[in-house]
Amino acid sequence: MPRLARFAALLGGLILSAPLLAQDIDPAGYGYPLENPFEATIATTPPELRPPLPTDEDIDQSDYSLKLRPEREFELPSNFWPVKTLRYRLARQDKPAPLIFIIAGTGAHYSNSTMEFLKKLFYGAGFHVVQLSSPSSWDFMAAASRFATPGLSTDDADDLYRVMQAVRAQHPKLPITEFYLTGYSLGGLHAAFVSQLDETRRSFNFKRVLLLNPPVNLYTSVTNLDRLVQTRVKGIDDDNTFYEVVLAKLTRYFQQRGYIDLNDALLYDFQQSRQRLSNEEMAMLIGTSFRFSSADIAFTSDLINRRGLITPTKYPIDEGTDLSPFFKRALQCDFDCYITEQLIPMWRARYDGGSLTQMVNQVSLYALEEYLKTSDKIAVMHNADDVILGPGDLGFLRRTLGDRLTLYPLGGHCGNLNYRVNTKAMLEYFRG
């Protein structure tokens, strides 16, 4: 009998001490209709499966601007006038309410469609909402970033934290009960670093932090994105570039339909027509949009820091200057090129940095492993078919977060954010 009791105690101890398992959403019951990760990434959720949202007219919102880096007024050329102050958007409730900060993804503006969607979702659930541009976006780099060389997550989080504090200071009368934080894609990674920073600076004491489809290893993610423009697309030859192949399909589709009608359902209808895009074409499209981001980052970082890699350092630029030659040069620079030519040299010069691997470990979620393990207020939602992940990334999240990781079987990169099942889970997490 005592042996049995001892055995029971051992068994009980084993069960209790075993790591909590991630919440894997069962594919059969999930019901998300797009099984193709590329299609999901581009088209997101069909309109009838999205949650009900408040309309813009129901939302009390305005754009504000912050002057955080007054010296940039003089350092930046005059055609940068729209980004000499940092804009953000605040939607306010008419009564005391919790406030949520939303951080945008790679290169994204505070008012892009995903940000507007998240704003409506959280506003409808009773939050004040602040939308912030990504530290990797043109406006943030010019107006708020100290070094204007995004990619070092701790620096980016520091810049973001100053912005958040300035936002708070600009609205002293806004009745806020608690602070929450979220971000999607690269913004998710930033949210984790901001949350860690807040543990020491204590301006907000975030109650809960949710990372949506964050990169785990930043280098894996940007390598994946760089690879997407290397797919083999049929029909490309000397006379037809990739854009022409896609546009020709679109033209034929509209001709068969008889008229042009741009709306949310268009993408689904298009993908069911004979002109539907192949996986390679969709991958190329996704890759293209990220290449435009990397071109913007490379150009802006080089110009603000006067590195002379893309724009000659003394080149006179005003509102009439043709930027095409610099655009053409910046286009040749993918994320890997930006890291090699600008990020690593800056990191080595400023922080006495070492190898690429060391830097990758510092800027990825690995750097926060202990913090993520012990902080119950942080959760991650991710997809099993996300194109920014590599082998082993989900294993890291499972080990580190346990049951605070929710893994959806489908959705590509952020494609299921606006699916009703996901939005319900997001709101439930914040409501506690």
Taking CB under 8 A as the rule, which mask of x and - marks residues 161-200 in contact with other proteins? Answer: ----------------------------------------
For other proteins, the binding residue among 153, 182, 300, 423 (CB under 8 A) is: 300
Q: Report the chain's C-alpha Rg in angstroms.
A: 23
For other proteins, the binding residue among 171, 207, 373, 398 (CB under 8 A) is: 398
Q: Is 232 in the site for other proteins (CB under 8 A)?
A: yes
At its nearest, how many Å lie between other proteins and the CB of residue 257?
9
At its nearest, how many Å lie between other proteins and the CB of residue 74?
18
Nearer to other proteins, 244 or 369 (CB): 244
Distance between CA atoms of residues 286 and 392, nearest Å: 23
Distance of CA 234 to the CA centre of its chain: 30
Q: Interface with other proteins by CB under 8 A: which range of 164-172, 189-197, 271-279, 354-362?
A: 271-279
Pairing relationship of beta strands 86-91 and 128-132 according to DSSP bridges = antiparallel
At its nearest, how many Å lie between other proteins and the CB of residue 320?
4
| Subset of 99-158 contacting other proteins (CB under 8 A) | 107-109, 111-112, 133, 137-139
Amino acid letter, residue 122: F
Q: Interface with other proteins by CB under 8 A: which range of 156-164, 201-209, 229-237, 358-366?
A: 229-237
Q: Is 227 in the site for other proteins (CB under 8 A)?
A: yes
At its nearest, how many Å lie between other proteins and the CB of residue 224?
6
Distance between CA atoms of residues 392 and 390, nearest Å: 6
Q: Is 85 in the site for other proteins (CB under 8 A)?
A: no
Structure tokens at 59: 């939302």
Q: Hey, is 155 helix, strand or coil?
A: helix
Structure tokens at 353: 């940095």
Structure tokens at 126: 């009773």
Contact 388, 225 (CB under 8 A): yes
Q: Hey, is 405 helix, strand or coil?
A: strand
Pairing relationship of beta strands 86-91 and 61-66 according to DSSP bridges = antiparallel
Residue 2: which region, alpha, beta or left (left: phi > 0; alpha: psi -120 to 50)?
Answer: alpha
Distance between CA atoms of residues 65 and 142, nearest Å: 13
Side-chain half-sphere of 276: how many Cα atoms within 13 Å? 12
At its nearest, how many Å lie between other proteins and the CB of residue 327?
5
Q: Is 267 in the site for other proteins (CB under 8 A)?
A: no
| Subset of 366-385 contacting other proteins (CB under 8 A) | 384-385
Pairing relationship of beta strands 61-66 and 23-24 according to DSSP bridges = unpaired
Contact 304, 75 (CB under 8 A): yes
Contact 307, 343 (CB under 8 A): no
At its nearest, how many Å lie between other proteins and the CB of residue 345?
22
Distance between CA atoms of residues 293 and 392, nearest Å: 26
At its nearest, how many Å lie between other proteins and the CB of residue 137?
6
Residue of 48, 83, 375, 361 lying closest to 218 (CA atoms): 361
Q: Is 327 in the site for other proteins (CB under 8 A)?
A: yes
Q: What's the length of the chain? A: 432
Nearer to other proteins, 137 or 185 (CB): 137
Contact 108, 114 (CB under 8 A): yes
For other proteins, the binding residue among 61, 154, 203, 271 (CB under 8 A) is: 271
Nearer to other proteins, 147 or 254 (CB): 254
For other proteins, the binding residue among 67, 260, 265, 424 (CB under 8 A) is: 260
| Subset of 328-347 contacting other proteins (CB under 8 A) | 328, 331-332
Q: Is 209 in the site for other proteins (CB under 8 A)?
A: no
| Subset of 274-293 contacting other proteins (CB under 8 A) | 279-280, 283-284, 287-288, 291-292
Taking CB under 8 A as the rule, which mask of x and - marks residues 42-81 in contact with other proteins? Answer: ----x-x--------x---------------------xxx
Q: Interface with other proteins by CB under 8 A: which range of 1-9, 121-129, 154-162, 242-250?
A: 242-250
The CA-based angle 393-282-247, given to 5 degrees, is 160
Q: Is 295 in the site for other proteins (CB under 8 A)?
A: yes
For other proteins, the binding residue among 23, 33, 154, 345 (CB under 8 A) is: 33
Nearer to other proteins, 177 or 230 (CB): 230
Distance between CA atoms of residues 283 and 233, nearest Å: 10
Q: Interface with other proteins by CB under 8 A: which range of 3-11, 92-100, 251-259, 351-359?
A: 251-259
Q: How many residues bind other proteins (CB under 8 A)?
A: 87
Distance between CA atoms of residues 105 and 171, nearest Å: 25
